[in-house]
Structure 1
């Protein structure tokens, strides 16, 4: 991972003091149709505070991305299945390819384990411009489901 010398990436809670920084995180223009903007994530976190976990990804003194995880979410809305995973991942356009996405996935995996989870779910838009290869490279595998038009993949946590 390429980072600032002497620093390492970390997750930071989104607060009133840094919300402007969070809102400024933008993916590449060719990726905007694949991932919702940070503003949408924060609105979803506001209406789902019981499961949403929005965080800035910071390295040194700069925000390099944003993620929103979900924990113990009622997947089908009927109480039968509860899941945890990555709801949204936005790596800033000029920070991509430096390992921040992998850092974010590992950090969410650690949080899921800390909370007693054994499976890590992601969803993504299918197609050549999507993040399928990124997630597959980290060990995620499709489980055969489509959720709101997106491919569902799972990583078993050991």
Structure 2
């Protein structure tokens, strides 16, 4: 890491690079593609918060938060919807930075909790999220475990 980690909006200037971002092949079944995420961001409008993750001038990842979405139990929640760190950039702290950046943004917006869901398969990110302090709620979002972090 160069210490220049930051989030940027997805713009006409960086969208092609963002669309080319690819996770490890064994993770492709665990996280939706950036293409799908950007389509959902368009459909959800202000409820989606897509961002490119940069270190210096290098694109290293993509994230998308969800903002004030009504959950199945009638509560309104915000959290991390997608996290795609490029295959060559994993294990370097970018995922932690991305989660912390979403936490900080949600805190700024007045949220008290950050939710996330994850694929529970062999290569799923459950251990990563638990190391960051998420606790499993016991709920499922489809077939994914749901975790929450107090912010």
TM over 0.5, yes or no? Answer: yes
**Unaligned stretches of 5+ residues in structure 2:** none
Describe the SS at the equivalent of 1:56: strand
Could you report, residue by residue, the CA deviation over 1:89-118 in whole angstroms, capped at 9, with x for unpaired residues? 000000000000000000000011000000
Equivalent residue, structure 1, for 2:85: 91
SS across alignment from 2:30 = coil
Q: Which residue of 1 aligns with 2:117?
A: 123
* Matching residue of 1:57: 53
**TM-score normalized by the length of structure 2:** 0.97
Cα distance, 1:127 vs structure 2 = 2.6
The correspondence of residues 1-158 of structure 1 with structure 2, limited to 5 A, is 3-4=1-2, 7-76=3-72, 80-157=74-151
Paired residue total: 151
Question: What is the alpha-carbon distance in structure 2 between the residues aligned to residue 50 and residue 65 of structure 1?
Answer: 21
Greater fraction of residues in helix? 2
Taking structure 1 as the reference length, the TM-score comes to 0.93
Once residues 49 and 71 of structure 2 are traced to their aligned partners in structure 1, the CA distance between those partners, rounded to angstroms, is 16
Q: C-alpha separation between the residues in 2 aligned to 1:16 and 1:81? A: 35
Q: Supply the distance in 1 between the matched residues of 2:122 and 2:38 (Cα, whole angstroms).
A: 28
Aligned to 1:48, what secondary structure does the other structure show? helix
Cα deviation for residue 18 of structure 1 reads: 1.1
Q: Which runs of 5+ in 1 are unaligned?
A: none
Matched residues in 2 for 1:154 and 1:32: separation?
Answer: 23
